[in-house]
Structure 1
């Protein structure tokens, strides 16, 4: 309409042209701007970027047996019946909802002289790419984010992506390390409404520690890559990472306000993604005294319930009939206004413990392992009253933490960190990390790195009625996203992604 009015104005005399220009100015919609600034782009990048892990967990939580279907033979993710549609949120949110906005924000920030926004963009790009490649394997990056200029970007090899991710994090740290005087725009503002850095409210040091923690996580993934993995490097990165749970990168969910209805917990009852799920028996056995004989973990009534029995994949179980409310919604992690952990201080302590163990620094490993347990218990152990779900969580006292740390469930000596039958396997570290990483897709990465070890995961069971295409194997990646299979078919085919058994093929760092 603007174009038509402008052409009409050109046909009129000079005085009328001025009148039309004034008319056009008055018809500019202030609620539909054609340009923006970095502080209005970053909140969406942060919130939607962090949420991606939660959407992946809708599938990976079944693979890691944190949860299982309540109906026997339901034929879903817990029986490894994976589809390209299962990958849509992981891929599409990475490349369209979030990733597509990062380069424009970085460009605007560079042009106006706001390095903290550039740094946040680099770190967020690294965060979403690292998650996407760990879930999917090879993905586009170097030819991605070009819109109509390239609808069929090539898939970069995962090894190259891992190098690119480290570069992005280094560049992000460099930008965040610049003095505040160089940042033209405030990095965070609470008025008139929050804008800019909604993750850390403008604390660039926490962003720097986030970047170092991500560097440590990604470097630790390379334990199978002889010549590339260096535990000393991981320990160096970790030493510059999170210093307490107050540094945790996590998504705080909010009351749903129309039209933004997707603002409550992905794991919670309002979103209702887990209505047909119950706890995995594999997970509960680490808490209820089955794995650690006679030791009841004080986290049990917080993470689950004292009466939860769980289910094995494919067998069904939990509250019956399946129309009953699931016990999963009694978890501290399922609070509608709770938060989703992305990468945390307690995770970093377990990363440090594993790296130190593999570097034969057993004293360091033992201390970090025990600190990881303590930090996780302290974090979820604050007495909490939840209205949705309506649960009062009892909390965990300092005495209970001490008692658990001194129990037979926890290694007391350096020698006890290892499997009794394999001194090179950090059994105790990885078991306690599995507990503390409840629902986090990162646990699937650990399981793949240790080949679903029966020594580390003694309660893991292969699903009854599992997808025959899996041929008795555990999933190693998600399938390519539905949209990519249809619109970028040739590139998906080049990586073997059209094969029905692609989900059991190992990603690069897993080989």
Structure 2
């Protein structure tokens, strides 16, 4: 069932509006001359669709811009993509020396959509709709944890108050994290004790109103946040206490074929395409500028070739005029190749105009479970979970389970074959990295900051790269220094290489 007509219903007030503004199918405004109050079930699909765009899209639908606005750049840092030689790229985009103006919409988009979820939660509370209330609380936790992982300390309890508090204070990332676990637990209570109450059904464009999957999603999100803290010994007690709650819940985690992904009814119409696909292809599949701007990174291509990985053909396309030749360049190279000599982004990433937007895919969940089992945190066979995760990653990019079995059964191939891998954790994270190409670079960046894996990801080759290190965070946006100067200044001098997120070593 297509939900475009539902997503267009509602209001477009200054506080409650999707980050894309009042344009097309992500809008929550129907008539600009008649402001109405959207019910939470009508507001939900717009907020969920915006989350999908936020995590995997590039530019807001209908914005008319091709500038980087979200997490695309992490595909460059993580060895998946590189710039095409047909374009002149700013030096600051190649040597990590970005400024406060770099990708400011990561901040603003998050808080705008958090306002949407806050509205849904408040309205659901007023109308006694616990299912919608629980869904909104979990999605707020998702966005706040990503903000912490991106910036460290951020406005939290004093945020989302509109004109009541226009100068929100900052809270420590660790304090925010700890409260997010409480918020998810509270959400699960609402979800689990909601029999006979309104279920949004098809308006839940992520799980179709399946409460059991929302409960699994909540646990999986908590597991992700616990693993973020795995390298901090002083967090061990907190981790164990939270694992006890997860294990006692009985809800489990997202498993095979249980992708948390959103789809409001993407179609081959203006501003209604899947946001990732639409950033590369215009209506009817005609290439856009961005299709030529991003190309394959030689690091990623080489990895899949050396491990005999059939996902090579999913993540990249053969060089033009060939059927089996793949080529790329390293990030920051001074000798980038022109379009005709390098591989395009592949059909497993850009599948079709109506593909769903990933929020947290099944293979990521299973890789996390494998790591947690390997650490002794949860019950389960880490090898079986590892192999299941690889299989899911194959299926999610259009390959087959049989191909996955052949792949991970290769004898003697470390970081692929479980028995052949001397470091099981390294194998898990390496394969997790291999599965996130193009669709979840933020998770790859987070694992790299946490564990330094894969250790061979190359630093930018641009000769002006004076700090030979992938940044550990982004800088607070220009808007904060202009509009919330006292509170952001209290955070001190921020450096993208040394101002670490609290869970980093």
**1:486 equivalent in structure 2:** 482
Aligned residues: 441
Alignment of 1:185-334 (within 5 A): 185-189=198-202, 196-229=203-236, 230=239, 237=246, 240-252=251-263, 254-255=266-267, 257-258=269-270, 263=275, 265=277, 268-270=280-282, 273=290, 275-289=292-306, 292=307, 296-305=308-317, 306-315=324-333, 320-322=337-339, 327-334=343-350
Task: Choose from 485, 489, 510 the match for 2:504.
Answer: 510
Cα gap change, 1:366/1:480 in structure 2, threshold over 3 Å: closer, same or farther? same
**2:13 equivalent in structure 1:** none
Please give the alpha-carbon distance, in whole angstroms, between the structure 1 residues aligned to 2:45 and 2:168.
27
Please give the alpha-carbon distance, in whole angstroms, between the structure 1 residues aligned to 2:275 and 2:377.
45
Task: Choose from 172, 176, 188 the match for 1:161.
Answer: 176
Per-residue CA distance 1:203-258 (angstroms, 9 max, x = gap):
11111111111011111100121132447955974874444343211233712545
Q: Which has the larger Rg? A: 1
**1:87 equivalent in structure 2:** 103
Matched-pair contact (CA < 8 Å) for 1:267–1:333: no
Matched-pair contact (CA < 8 Å) for 1:74–1:314: no
Alignment of 1:14-33 (within 5 A): 32-33=34-35
Per-residue CA distance 1:171-192 (angstroms, 9 max, x = gap):
11111101331x2x34225xxx
Matched-pair contact (CA < 8 Å) for 1:269–1:334: no
Superposition deviation, residue 372 in structure 1:
0.8
3-state SS of 2:215 partner: helix
Structural RMSD (CA): 3.0
Q: Does 1:354 align with 2:366?
A: no
Cα gap change, 1:287/1:411 in structure 2, threshold over 3 Å: closer, same or farther? closer
TM-score using structure 1 length: 0.78
- Runs of 5+ unmatched residues, structure 2: 1-30, 59-69, 283-287, 318-323
Matched-pair contact (CA < 8 Å) for 2:275–2:357: no
Cα gap change, 1:37/1:466 in structure 2, threshold over 3 Å: closer, same or farther? farther
3-state SS of 1:341 partner: strand
**2:430 equivalent in structure 1:** 431
Q: Does 1:448 align with 2:449?
A: yes
Please give the alpha-carbon distance, in whole angstroms, between the structure 1 residues aligned to 2:224 and 2:404.
26
Please give the alpha-carbon distance, in whole angstroms, between the structure 1 residues aligned to 2:178 and 2:35.
37
3-state SS of 2:98 partner: coil
Matched-pair contact (CA < 8 Å) for 1:314–1:464: yes
Superposition deviation, residue 264 in structure 1:
5.8
Please give the alpha-carbon distance, in whole angstroms, between the structure 2 residues aligned to 1:326 and 1:416.
33
**2:166 equivalent in structure 1:** 151
Matched-pair contact (CA < 8 Å) for 1:70–1:317: no
Task: Choose from 403, 407, 422 the match for 1:404.
Answer: 407
Matched-pair contact (CA < 8 Å) for 1:362–1:414: no
- Runs of 5+ unmatched residues, structure 1: 1-28, 190-195, 382-394, 420-424
Please give the alpha-carbon distance, in whole angstroms, between the structure 1 residues aligned to 2:130 and 2:335.
53
3-state SS of 1:250 partner: strand
Please give the alpha-carbon distance, in whole angstroms, between the structure 2 residues aligned to 1:378 and 1:225.
34
Please give the alpha-carbon distance, in whole angstroms, between the structure 1 residues aligned to 2:244 and 2:315.
30
3-state SS of 1:311 partner: coil
